[in-house]
Amino acid sequence: MSAALPVGSDTSGEVRPSPLIIRGLVKRYGDNEVVRGIDLELAAGECFTLLGPNGAGKTTTLRCALGLTAPTAGDIRLCGEPVPARAREARMRVGIVPQIDNLDPDFTCTENLLVYGRYFGIKDADIRARIPELLAFAGLENKADARIQSLSGGMKRRLTLARALVNRPELLVLDEPTTGLDPQARHLIWDRLKQLIRNGTTVLLTTHFMDEAERLSDHLAILDAGRLLTAGSPRDVIAQHIEPQVVEVFGEWGNAGNGTAGAPAWAAQHAAALSDRFEISGETAFCYVRDPAPLLAHLAAQPGLRYLHRPANLEDVFLKLTGRELRD
């Protein structure tokens, strides 16, 4: 599917001002300090991703940035405007895709776009003229008159994305845009986001999917407990925090006539000598290595053990920095 791009961003190549600058952001709910001094600056035209476990403060940071909740302290400039003082004016130049779709279920696709466009003071005739383009971008050309209830989850997400473009935003903010979507629907959203980024729209997103962050982001930051733990390009963040290669070891390990044990028992005896660092999670030993050759040679001689050898990725960094314990 190819579609004309419904944004009006400047792609002339001149350096544009940052669409979002956050300095020293603090947010407290009662005694609970959920954002504890965050600094962020987005470059115009980039994709920036906020990663963090549940409760890290990602949504609160976005809500403060958009002027939807008042910060306890800090300075925010959104599209050049001070927030919260001029949040309403700033939001006129921003597109928002919330975590939970809030399309009007009683309206058709066209009516949803029309009503949303009116919030921005766009004339009905101008919105109507643009609707075919927006629906094409969302791959919903044939759904103009369909009611929201009849759409699949993926279609609703795409319509919410198209709706967020109705005002030709400079900055598009998406809170977990692909949560709950099947792989096909995720790929379509990624494709559309890449198209927007290529054409100059700045994108700020949160996600729990490391592959999504790695594919889309120019820069990312990992948050936990209201603080930034690291920030940079995906490649730099991986190189800074993790050995370049990972061998995940699992399966059975022969135990000299005493039955078999699993990878954790193997790791207790051998992993320290054969890897730069290792972690046990459940029945798997994660071995982080600069030179995998000695470990792989050793594993080749252990018939019950199985392993997966792969390059280090963002999920390894995420788990190293935020831990493997479950969050609510």
Shortest CB 3 distance to ligand ADP, Å: 31
- Residue (26 or 239) nearer to ligand ADP, CB: 26
| Residue of 48, 58, 156, 286 that binds ligand ADP (CB under 6 A) | 58
| Residue of 3, 21, 34, 92 that binds ligand ADP (CB under 6 A) | 34
- Residue (101 or 248) nearer to ligand ADP, CB: 101
- Residue (136 or 231) nearer to ligand ADP, CB: 231
Q: Is residue 64 within 8 Å of 76, Cβ to Cβ?
A: yes
Shortest CB 51 distance to ligand ADP, Å: 9
| Residue of 6, 19, 45, 57 that binds ligand ADP (CB under 6 A) | 57
- Residue (57 or 200) nearer to ligand ADP, CB: 57
In the block, residue with structure tokens 């936990």: 224
Shortest CB 58 distance to ligand ADP, Å: 4
- State which amino acid sits at residue 153: G
Residues 35-54 that bind ligand ADP (CB under 6 A): 52, 54
Mask 259-278, x = binds ligand ADP (CB under 6 A)? --------------------
Q: How long a stretch of residues is the chain?
A: 328
60 binds ligand ADP (CB under 6 A): yes
Three-class SS of the chain: CCCCCCCCCCCCCCCCCCCEEEEEEEEEECCEEEEEEEEEEECCCCEEEEECCCCCCHHHHHHHHCCCCCCCEEEEEECCEEECCCHHHHHCCEEEECCCCCCCCCCEHHHHHHHHHHHCCCCHHHHHHHHHHHHHHCCCHHHCCCEHHHCCHHHHHHHHHHHHCCCCCCEEEEECCCCCCCHHHHHHHHHHHHHHHHCCCEEEEECCCHHHHHHHCCEEEEEECCEEEEEECHHHHHHHHCCCEEEEEEEEEECCCCCEEEHHHHHHHHHHHHCCEEEEECCEEEEEECCCHHHHHHHHCCCCEEEEEEECCHHHHHHHHHCCCCCC
201 binds ligand ADP (CB under 6 A): no
- Angle in degrees, CA 154, 158, 162, rounded to 5: 170
Shortest CB 56 distance to ligand ADP, Å: 4
- Residue (117 or 226) nearer to ligand ADP, CB: 226
* Count of residues in contact with ligand ADP, rule CB under 6 A: 10
139 binds ligand ADP (CB under 6 A): no
Shortest CB 165 distance to ligand ADP, Å: 24
- Residue (98 or 132) nearer to ligand ADP, CB: 98
Shortest CB 224 distance to ligand ADP, Å: 9
Residues that bind ligand ADP (CB under 6 A): 29, 34, 52, 54-60
